[in-house]
């Protein structure tokens, strides 16, 4: 039998389950969860706190907690109940499914219900499941049979649901209670599969020099469990995690923050992190992405520009596009006026008909209030730069001289200014100085020179510089 038959055989809608094992009594609204509080971090991690009212008998008892996250980290579970202590806890994540049900039936007796496709007559026979390895092997009336993928209608009736299978992820806890009666029981744990990010929609008005920005929280739930009517708190910042091994790599990437801010945002903080509580309780369904607004700013100051970076004092075979850059601030005065959680900024501009059109996107890191940002939205069609090594000579055993020429062109009907960046001299060159230049530069650091180059409408501009490098 092929694997497809096994799936098809057990997914027949009318498959019967007789005498089910005792389950947790159904809760109001179909969920066993109680008063939920979620603290969600940006690195796919969440703290779940669930307060349930339970009636406990005196002595030791095993209590199931259904509807916990399937991505629960069992070692982080905490449980507290008045006048009760925890003896043992187990997380049962072997979930009930057609495949798991058949696999658990190995060695058990089931009933096969076959239907004659010509007469519609149903026949029943008992069979022992011998193996489920790429197919179902049965023992029927003293002979061995393999269910064939012949398209004939057949259903399997199971006598019971194995106690080890759960319809939903379930945490089982053994409690020792010193008194009988109802009381609040608080369950808390960390879970993967629940995270959030920020998304920004920015409408740029180039003529007015302003930008309108809406910020959205995007919640994603892949935990295998829905969280019903939860009080939700979002934490902005990179919380340390044993699974996070690429933080250093992210910090090495070029970031849009050109000047980090020094303003304290008017938001609640937890240690070094900002908190973004949702205004109302919300339900985050499994396999759902949900968006909630948190920022709406009109008319903040913004400008567009162009940037080109050349590394390693090298030449280019042909001219390349300068990057289109959108510059703005999140300062309280004239800017967005808030700390910005990490996320993607999507930029729109209105066309000649007044309709907003998408012009590019890029990511920002967690950005303190008062920062200056430059978002690269794409490559310019009409603004090009070509770096050329005019001459490179060895002056002495420890010195090299490199003459560079940068050719800039502008096919637009208006003048533009290009931020020309020369950086990334080879690591074995320990001291590089500019001994001559046609336009004064700014030194951002020891390895970077920056020129603000005006390029006339439908025209060209040239910058020359000589670099003296000591090894």
* Residue 12 pLDDT: 34
**Which segment of 129-133, 306-310, 389-393 scores lowest on mean pLDDT?**
129-133
Nearest to 407 by CA among 392, 389, 424, 425: 389
* Residue 253 pLDDT: 42
Spatial separation of the C-alpha atoms in residues 223 and 242, rounded to whole Å: 19
Spatial separation of the C-alpha atoms in residues 223 and 239, rounded to whole Å: 19
Residue-wise DSSP of 395-446: EETTEEEEEEEEEEEE-SSS-EEEEEEEE---TT--EEEEEEESS--EEEET
**Which segment of 10-14, 146-150, 284-288, 313-317 scores lowest on mean pLDDT?**
10-14
Spatial separation of the C-alpha atoms in residues 411 and 457, rounded to whole Å: 7
* Residue 211 pLDDT: 97
φ, ψ of residue 249 in degrees (nearest 5) = -60, -45
When mean pLDDT is compared over 16-25, 58-67, 246-255, 349-358, the highest value belongs to 349-358
- Other Cβ atoms closer than 10 A to 77: 19
Asked if residue 243 has pLDDT above 90, the reply is: no
* Residue 124 pLDDT: 86
**Which segment of 28-32, 33-37, 382-386 scores lowest on mean pLDDT?**
28-32
* Residue 270 pLDDT: 77
Opening angle at CA 173, ends 241 and 25, nearest 5: 115
Strand partners, 234: 40, 276
Spatial separation of the C-alpha atoms in residues 329 and 164, rounded to whole Å: 57
Nearest to 410 by CA among 402, 418, 421: 418
pLDDT, one tens digit per residue, over 172-218 is 888 999 999 999 999 999 999 999 999 999 999 999 999 999 999 99
What residue spans define the domains of the chain? 1-192
Spatial separation of the C-alpha atoms in residues 375 and 211, rounded to whole Å: 13
> Taking residues 411-418, what's their average pLDDT?
97
pLDDT, one tens digit per residue, over 448-469 is 899 999 999 999 999 999 999 8
Would you place residue 301 in the very low, low, confident or very high pLDDT band (cuts 50, 70, 90)? very high
**Which segment of 146-150, 256-260, 353-357 scores lowest on mean pLDDT?**
146-150
* Residue 150 pLDDT: 54
Pairing of strands 288-311, 416-423: parallel
Asked if residue 363 has pLDDT above 80, the reply is: yes
Whole-structure pTM value:
0.70
Strand partners, 367: 340
* Residue 95 pLDDT: 59
Asked if residue 417 has pLDDT above 90, the reply is: yes
Nearest to 377 by CA among 461, 303, 451: 303
Strands (E), 81-209: 84-92, 109-115, 122-132, 136-140, 143-146, 154-157, 170-177, 181-192, 194-205
Cβ-based neighbours of 263, under 8 Å, separated by 6 or more: 331, 332, 368, 369, 370
Nearest to 38 by CA among 300, 177, 234, 320: 234
pLDDT, mean over the chain = 83
Asked if residue 295 has pLDDT above 80, the reply is: yes
pLDDT, one tens digit per residue, over 140-173 is 888 887 776 555 677 787 777 776 666 566 788 8
Nearest to 356 by CA among 199, 203, 210: 203
């Amino acid at each position: 039998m092929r694997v497809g038959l096994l799936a098809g055989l057990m997914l027949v809608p009318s498959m019967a389950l007789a005498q089910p094992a005792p389950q947790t009594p159904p809760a109001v609204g179909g969920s066993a969860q109680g008063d939920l509080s979620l603290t969600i971090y940006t690195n796919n991690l969440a703290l779940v706190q669930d307060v349930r009212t339970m009636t406990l008998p005196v002595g030791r008892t095993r209590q199931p907690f259904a509807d916990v996250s399937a991505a629960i980290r069992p070692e982080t579970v905490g449980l507290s109940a008045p006048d009760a202590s925890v003896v043992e806890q187990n997380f049962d994540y072997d979930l009930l499914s057609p495949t798991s049900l058949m696999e658990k039936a190995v060695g058990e007796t089931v009933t096969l219900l076959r239907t004659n496709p010509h007469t519609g007559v149903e026949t029943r026979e008992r069979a022992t499941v011998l193996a489920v390895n790429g197919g179902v092997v049965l023992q029927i009336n003293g002979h061995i049979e393999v269910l064939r993928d012949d398209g004939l209608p057949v259903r399997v009736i199971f006598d019971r649901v194995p106690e080890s299978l759960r319809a939903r992820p379930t945490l089982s806890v053994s409690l020792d209670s010193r008194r009988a009666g109802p009381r609040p029981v608080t369950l808390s744990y960390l879970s993967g599969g629940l995270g959030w990010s920020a998304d920004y929609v920015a409408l740029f008005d180039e003529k007015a020099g302003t930008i309108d920005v809406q910020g959205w929280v995007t919640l994603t739930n892949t935990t295998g469990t829905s969280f019903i009517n939860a009080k939700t708190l979002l934490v902005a910042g990179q919380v340390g995690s044993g699974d996070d091994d690429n933080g250093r790599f992210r910090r090495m990437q070029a970031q849009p923050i050109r000047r980090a801010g020094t303003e304290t945002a008017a938001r609640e903080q937890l240690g070094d992190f900002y908190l973004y509580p949702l205004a109302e309780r919300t339900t985050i369904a499994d396999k759902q992405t949900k968006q909630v607004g948190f920022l709406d700013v009109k008319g903040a100051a913004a400008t567009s520009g162009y940037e080109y970076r050349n590394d390693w004092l090298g030449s280019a075979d042909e001219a390349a596009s300068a990057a289109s850059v959108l510059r703005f601030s999140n300062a309280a005065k004239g800017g967005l006026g808030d700390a910005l959680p990490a996320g993607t900024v999507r930029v729109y501009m209105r066309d000649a008909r007044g309709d907003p059109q998408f012009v590019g996107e890029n990511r920002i890191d967690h950005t303190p209030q008062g920062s200056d940002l430059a978002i690269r939205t794409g490559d310019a069609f009409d603004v090009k730069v070509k770096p050329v090594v005019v001459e490179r000579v060895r002056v002495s055993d420890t010195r090299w001289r490199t003459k560079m020429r940068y050719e800039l062109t502008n096919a637009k009907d208006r003048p533009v200014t290009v931020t020309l960046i020369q950086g990334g001299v080879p690591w074995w060159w320990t001291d590089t100085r500019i001994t001559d230049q046609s336009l004064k530069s700014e030194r951002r650091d020891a390895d970077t020179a920056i020129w603000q180059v005006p390029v006339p409408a439908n025209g060209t501009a040239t910058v020359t510089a000589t670099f003296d490098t000591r090894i």
